[in-house]
Amino acid sequence: MRYTPHTPADRQKLLKQIGAAAVEELFSDIPDQVKLKKPVPLPAPLSEPELLAELKQTSNKNSPAAFIGGGSYRHFIPSVVNHLVSRSEFYTAYTPYQPEISQGILQAIYEYQTMICNLTGMFAANASMYDGATALAEAALLACRATNRTEIVVSSTVHPHHRAVLKTYANGADLKVTELPYDPKSGQSAIRIPCSNSVACVIIQQPNFLGSLEDITNVAEKLHANGSLFIVSVNPISLGLLKAPADYGADIVVGEGQPLGNPPSFGGPGLGIFAVKKELIRQLPGRVVGMTTDLEGRRGFCLTLQTREQHIRREKATSNICSNEALVALAATIYLSVMGKQGLRRVAELCLQKANYLKKRLENKVVFAGPTFNEFVVRTEKPVGIDLGKYYAELKGCRLICVTELDNKAAFDKLANSI
């Protein structure tokens, strides 16, 4: 049987064992005024085949939301990804506590770190954070530690959920968060390079939450002249086409890795990308897998630079995030391996080209004039995409439209004709 409920005799035996006369005694501490006065009206019981049929019928009502992105994206996932991540060796989605006997998963994480470095151009990456939001917040804490400063400057075009997590972190650490406005014409950050010696870092998102590509010309140089760090949050798919953040002076690169071989599901799980330049490697939060050789000269993998609180004295830890998204990172590793440089570039090209086709079809509705990647803002009351009025009062009546390689011309034309 799939379900093995307790029988009345089982319940009586258990109650006798703990010295209770009835099940209700177990809930005697709950005030009467908050208890249900009558049973919840449940439907009649079903047999297992009937239940499965009903659940299948209900699930068929679910349909992919049209043109929704905003940090979680629908991309084609090669079948090999699910075949490999479903193998029993990888069922435990966590970096092992006895790593030396788990060489396979450690090698996979090492390969993941290497690929993230190849994508971003950075010197080192960790084994992953919880998601893009926690990666961004941890990057800001790193910047404050490294510069011994207390102010974090973040663009208002950074994902609003990520900014909310950042503010939660900052509040607990007595750090100040200042938001930069955006240009109402281009949708780009109105980046004013801070000259205050209290500013630890400036954070931008590329492409930003409004879909616009940020102008990052000379931003890093001016920040570094002020002694501040430059943090960039990226969409990893866009790096198939866009310049690597290291090439325009980023000190820390973070991002949401879900687009790399993982379905959006119902909003999770995510994958926090985190990479740094060489000078900051010992400030990396979380876990890092390194490659070494044993006494016989054979290649092996191990946890290294362990700066989390489970491995060192708590007050010296760089983060209290004690885990990583090993299974999700494994899916990203397989995806990147299968797609390769040309495959990733082709996906990015399709996203860009298809989005531009729809953008031209909706030309009179497009809000911002700046360049975009695979998302853009339109003015419409039609329930499509993401309602930006929830996050930006001035964008009430505007929607964020997302396009990926899975969308097609027929859907674009249908949308354009209905708005």
Digit-coded pLDDT (tens) for 244-281: 999 999 999 999 999 999 999 878 899 999 999 999 99
3 state DSSP class of 253: strand
Residue 195 reports pLDDT greater than 90: no
Average pLDDT for 8-32: 93
Residue 309 reports pLDDT greater than 60: no
Q: Distance between CA 30 and CA 7 in Å, rounded?
A: 25
> Which pLDDT score, from 0 to 100, does residue 305 have?
78
Of 257, 245, 243, nearest to 335 by C-alpha is 257
Q: What percent of the chain has pLDDT over 90?
A: 76
DSSP 326-365: HHHHHHHHHHHHHHHHHHHHHHHHHHHHHHHHHHHHTGGG
Q: What is the DSSP letter of 263?
A: -
Spatial CB neighbours of 416, under 8 Å, sequence gap ≥ 6: 358, 361, 362
Separation in Å, CA 129 to CA 185, 257, 288, 354: 35, 10, 11, 31
What's this model's pTM, rounded to 2 decimal places?
Answer: 0.87
Digit-coded pLDDT (tens) for 33-62: 999 888 899 999 898 899 999 999 998 887
Q: Distance between CA 208 and CA 193 in Å, rounded?
A: 18
For the chain, domains (ranges, CATH) are 79-334 (3.40.640.10), 340-418 (3.90.1150.10)
Separation in Å, CA 52 to CA 45, 57, 66, 207, 266: 12, 9, 28, 43, 21
Q: How confident is the model at residue 95 (pLDDT cuts 50, 70, 90)?
A: low
Digit-coded pLDDT (tens) for 97-143: 666 677 888 899 999 999 999 999 999 999 999 999 999 999 999 99
> Which pLDDT score, from 0 to 100, does residue 104 have?
85
> Which pLDDT score, from 0 to 100, does residue 323 have?
74
Average pLDDT for 306-326: 70
DSSP 280-341: GGGG--S-EEEEEE-TTS-EEEEEES--BTTTS-GGG-SBS-----HHHHHHHHHHHHHHHH
3 state DSSP class of 65: coil
- Say which range, 8-17, 18-27, 54-63, 86-95, has the weakest mean pLDDT: 86-95
Of 139, 85, 141, 108, nearest to 273 by C-alpha is 139
Average pLDDT for 203-208: 98
Burial tier of 375 (Cβ tally within 10 Å: 0-12, 13-18, 19+): buried
Residue 328 reports pLDDT greater than 70: yes
Evaluated on CA atoms 228, 281, 119, 81, the torsion sign reads negative
Residue 149 reports pLDDT greater than 80: yes
Q: Cβ(308)–Cβ(274) under 8 Å? A: no
Q: Cβ(214)–Cβ(204) under 8 Å? A: yes
Average pLDDT for 179-183: 95
DSSP 359-398: HHHTGGGB---S-BSSEEEEE--SS-SEEGGGT-GGGTTE
Q: Distance between CA 49 and CA 46 in Å, rounded?
A: 8
Q: Cβ(113)–Cβ(330) under 8 Å? A: no
> Which pLDDT score, from 0 to 100, does residue 230 have?
97
